[in-house]
Every structure is written in C-alpha cells, then in structure tokens.
Amino acid sequence: MLIAGNWKMNTDVGSAIELAREIAGDIGSPAPVKVAVCPPTVNVSEVARTVNETALLVGAQNMFYEESGAFTGETSPAMLSAVGCHYVILGHSERRQYFGETDDTVNRKVRKAVEHGLVPILCVGEHLAEREAGQEEDVVSRQVRKGLSGVLIGRPGDLVIAYEPVWAIGTGRTATPAQAQEMHSYIRGLLRDQFGEAAADAIEILYGGSMNPGNADELLSQKDVDGGLIGGASLNADSFVSIVESAKRLA
C-alpha cells in the first residue's frame, strides 16, 4: 500500500522542509505501507536531503520526456533521479486541463521515467460530464491504454496508477467507496490485459479524489484500492499521518 502526498504549488523551501521533517518523524517506520511526498520541483532536492535517512520517500509532480536540451523551464528524469526522487506524478488532471497535456505526451513521459528508474504515478480519471454521460470507463480505458502503450516494467513496483475522478478533486465531493472500487477493479482488468494477472494484481492503484482522515478507512478498505494520492490533506502533517495510520491498520 502507498500513501503519496501531492503538495501541488504550495510551500516554500522552509515550510517544505519543516512539513517533510514533521511527517517523517511522525510516521516512523510505516511498513508495510510506503509513504511519499511530492513537493514543488524547486523544493525536491532540499526535501530529499532532509528525509534521506528516514522511511519517507520523495517524488516530483512532473517531468519532461527528453534527457537534456533547449527546453526552457523543464526538468529531465536524470535531474530528478540525481537529487533523490523515487516517484514522479504524470498525467495529473491539472496538467491535462491547464497545460494541454495529451495521452501521447503523458505516454512519452511514463516511458522515459521507467527508463530512468523513476516510478511513474500515472493519473487517470473522468470529468463530471463524462461520468454523467456514462463515459467514465471509455475515458479511463483510453488514458490507461494510451498512457501505458509500449511501457515495459521489470516488476510491479515499477508502476503506480492513480484514479482521480476529476469531479472530486478540490470540490469537497468524493466518489463513494463502491464507485472507487468499481473503477479500480476496471483498471485492474486493463492492467491484466497488458502485464498479465500476477503483475496486475500487484501494481498499486491509488485513489486520488479528496481522500481525507474522515473517509480514508472506508476507501482504503476496498479490495482494489491500494492507497491514496492525497492533495489538500497532505499539507497538514496531522491529517496526512492520520491517513497513513488508516493504511497501516488496513494493509
């Protein structure tokens, strides 16, 4: 099970270090749950240095699919690896919505991340209008299949999927546990088609739609929910650690 915090465009370097240090201290040794935080890119190096000798892992929120070159403002996978990144969030709905990312560009990033030993957290999920039109499975199937086209993994831990119903991100709305389980089970089937049953059963599928301490137990107790990609609740150490504790009880 994996609990990952996506800090989005929040924290400066001082508050990022303080938050990471507090979380790392509070979680102790959280086995069998893995715990990660994904700060803004400018803070990744300092956060990674701060938690280097703890159980807390570090990820980035995005990366480019080229090794180097004239790509102003971008960050390469090699750069992330060099500063201690373990995970990288790719294809988040906000990247797709605000920055025009497509299934093709997301796929290129996923393949490059795996090539460099980074574990991509591939985000997929439907908008409210798509769910109301009964298109949620079509949308998620397209995003999973295209996002993972040509992707080869050596072991299940080389890939994480995060299901984020876009209508439940930052809106206060949350998919019901039954809705989350239904979609996670569907995604598991898509992974089975590509990677085989054993690998698909072991790949972690996170729920990424406003998980918080109040709903974590119900969501994490679902058969195919293997953790959470946490937004707002990850910016408060007590809230985030409470979700980690839920995961530890249920793992």
Contact 180, 163 (CB under 8 A): yes
Contact 163, 191 (CB under 8 A): no
Residues 6+ positions from 184 with CB-CB distance below 8 Å: 163, 205, 207, 222, 224, 225, 226
Alpha helices in the chain (DSSP H): 13-27, 41-50, 77-82, 93-99, 103-115, 128-132, 136-147, 177-195, 197-202, 216-220, 237-250
Q: Which of 92, 94, 101, 136 is catalytic?
A: 92
One-letter amino acid of 56: L
**92 noted as active-site residue:** yes
Residues 6+ positions from 107 with CB-CB distance below 8 Å: 146, 147, 148, 149, 150, 151
What is the distance between the alpha carbons of residues 102 and 180, in angstroms, rounded to a whole number? Answer: 24
**66 noted as active-site residue:** no
Please measure the distance between the N-terminal and C-terminal CA atoms of the chain and give it in whole angstroms.
6
Q: Which of 164, 184, 204, 245 is catalytic?
A: 164
Task: Count Cβ atoms below 10 Å from residue 99 Cβ, excluding itself.
Answer: 10
Catalytic residues: 92, 164
